[in-house]
Amino acid sequence: MRKHSHRFLKRLAVCFVAIVGAFMFTSCTQSFCTPQDQANQLYGYYGNIFEDSVDVSNGSALDNITVQNENRETLYGTLETNGFSRPTKAFNNYMNEQATTFASDNVHYWFDGTFASYDESDPDEVSLANDNALHVAIYAGITTDEDGDIIVAPLWTNYNEWYDASLEDETLGVSLAPSNSFVSAFQAQVNATIASNTACITPEDSYFNQNGVTIYIQGKTWGEAFSEYGFLEGLFVYPFSWLVHTISEGLGNNGWAQILAIFTVTLIARLVTVVSTVLQGRSQAKQQKIQPMINDLQAKYPNAAYDKEQKQQLAFEQAKLIKQAKVHPVLPLIFLIIQFPIFICVWSALQGNASLAASNLWGLALTTPVSQCFMSFADTPGALTGIMIFIFMTLSNVLSSFTSLWFTNWRTKNFGTISKVNPEQGSMDPQKTTKIMTYVMLVFIIIMGWSLPAGMGIYWIFGSLLSIMQSLITEVIQTHSRHKLAAETGDGSNLAIVRRSAHHRTSTKKDSKKKKDKPMWR
């Protein structure tokens, strides 16, 4: 393999490591789901796991109960398939009694401001407090933190404590209580239900539809986003999610409101890209201006590839020239690293937004992973919509990438803005480098789009369309800058521009037809 190929692969590896490093650093954005949210999510999905099928024949039961009965039956059916027996009725009665007593003893925390401040004179709020206390009793627990403050404990805190007590209970014991293996498998199966459900970002306490059931989610404040979850969560994730919530709830949660919300977030996030494009354009203009001098330096040191002294001298003079011109060669990579955390934060905001999860577009919840639409087509509501979003996302990104690449090739062919390649110096063709990086990023986006929620697919579609518009506008601006630069430098490498610009011609059409008046370079 040639030396310049090794250099290119090294540079490509550095870029890839930088991108992956940025992704790993920013992917630590946390879920906003509190243990109380998780307890409410699990109760909404399974109901009271210590009860048998609940009768809904009287017509007064909530719609959730039918779904909860079916989900509990599926849960225990899966465990039976794996060789576990269902818990005995005596064990479930024991655990249910413990949960009821616990909820009754601790419901005051939802009235006194510890967990909430519900109005005890309002029957609806009393019912809400009792429900939350029961959900926490069954699936979580209550404990104190290191400062002595009372908080909702992690999932299964009460369950594990009561299970250990049941083994010592005279009326139950090992003979009537389930095995440790069952408890581990049971809890793992239940946890998997909400493993990917992080849709808990909302500025106000409210009910949201998730997975076909109604879930109560705690409101979070901007200050809590900083103090409880992290700097990036407070700086980007929460504001983006708040904007989506405000637009979605304000326009009726009808699916199209969420699309408008995503488009608005896309516009704001793209402002960073626009700023970076402008700065990169200025840097490219400066580099274009000194390119003839760089070419002269390369010609001055033709043996730099294998002559150590010439190589050092060439590097020194190039660095000096670049410094004087205030050109920043690594600027594109720097802005790529800056943009990546914003992308991750937008992803977290869309995936974690409770309003976005509560609505649907043609039957598809926009927090549904695209891969699920393909892998579980029959069991995923609106799966066809998710597949179409992925297809349009792919096509729009392909079009956006090749539009940018086409403009780069067009500028190279017509205006010679790319440096001359000297194989003897081990140089890699920048045009090929740009093309390969474009392909790498395109594949990366498609792979990411496969695993991300459908809302991110819509975000990428809007982003690609805006990128195409941005490329067109940027090219118009850069064309004007090239004309101006050509007039200022008068360098032969830019005379192709002069030939195409009547504005810079000083001779009349009649004079230009005279062969003796034509410049030698024509």
Q: What is the pLDDT of residues 211-221, one digit of tens each?
A: 667 788 989 99
What single DSSP character describes residue 59?
S
**Co-location of 273 and 150 in the same domain:** no
Flag whether 468 is in a domain.
yes
Mode of pairing for the β-strands spanning 213-217 and 206-210: antiparallel
pLDDT along the chain (522 residues), means of 10: 51 53 52 93 92 63 75 92 92 95 96 91 91 95 93 96 94 92 95 87 87 82 91 91 91 83 89 69 69 80 80 83 74 69 84 83 82 86 90 89 76 55 47 65 78 84 86 75 63 45 45 46 40
Flag whether 518 is in a domain.
no
pLDDT tens, position by position, 463-495 = 888 888 877 877 777 677 666 666 665 544 444
**Co-location of 117 and 12 in the same domain:** no
In whole numbers, what is the pLDDT of the chain averaged over residues?
79
- Residue 361 main-chain phi, psi, to 5 deg: -115, 110
What single DSSP character describes residue 226?
I
**Co-location of 24 and 53 in the same domain:** no
Total domains present in the chain: 2
Q: What is the pTM of this model?
A: 0.72
Q: List 201's β-bridge partners, or say none.
A: 353
**Co-location of 320 and 177 in the same domain:** no
- Rounded to 10°, the helix 454-489/256-300 angle is 40
pLDDT for 413: 67
Number of residues in the chain: 522
Q: From CA 321, how far away is CA 298, in angstroms rounded?
A: 13
Flag whether 155 is in a domain.
yes
Its domain, for residue 484, covers 3-28+261-502
pLDDT for 43: 93
**Co-location of 21 and 43 in the same domain:** no
pLDDT for 468: 86
Flag whether 285 is in a domain.
yes
Dihedral sign for Cα atoms in the order 133, 134, 139, 142 = positive
**Co-location of 178 and 308 in the same domain:** no
Dihedral sign for Cα atoms in the order 440, 445, 446, 452 = positive
**Co-location of 291 and 436 in the same domain:** yes
**Co-location of 342 and 485 in the same domain:** yes
Phi-psi region for residue 47, left (φ > 0), alpha (ψ -120 to 50) or beta? Answer: left
For 21-51, b where at least 16 C-beta lie within 10 A, e where not — what string? ebeeebeebebbbbbbbbbbbbbbbbbbbbe
